[in-house]
């Protein structure tokens, strides 16, 4: 999932560079500039959504601690490997 978000971020950066080059080079057609900028936003939104952590590290640590306290430690049967 992280690979897809990084790919979206890379494509968004390329579209932003294309937009800036297009605007800085000369006469600009507002429709083409708008389409390029909308493509940039369309790629940036999922990249930011997928790159953000789903839960804060503190919440994850608290959840893991609660799970450890709820479950009793696993008792491993002693195996006799000499047989």
pLDDT digit string (tens) for 12-41? 999 999 999 999 998 999 999 999 999 999
Predicted model pTM = 0.62
Residue 83 — very low, low, confident or very high, per pLDDT cuts 50/70/90? Answer: low
Q: Identify the burial level of 3 via C-beta atoms within 10 angstroms of its C-beta, where 0-12 means exposed, 13-18 middle and 19 or more buried.
A: exposed
Report how far apart, in Å, the C-alpha atoms of 69 and of each of 59, 60, 66, 78 are.
Answer: 16, 14, 5, 24
pLDDT for position 75: 52
């Amino acid at each position: 999932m992280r690979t897809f978000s990084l790919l979206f971020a890379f494509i968004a950066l390329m579209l932003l560079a294309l937009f800036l080059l297009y605007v800085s080079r000369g006469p600009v057609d507002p429709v083409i500039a708008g389409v390029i900028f909308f493509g940039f936003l369309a790629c940036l939104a999922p990249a930011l959504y997928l790159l953000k952590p789903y839960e804060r590290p503190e919440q994850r640590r608290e959840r893991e601690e609660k799970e450890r306290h709820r479950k009793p430690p696993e008792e491993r049967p002693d195996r006799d490997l000499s047989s």
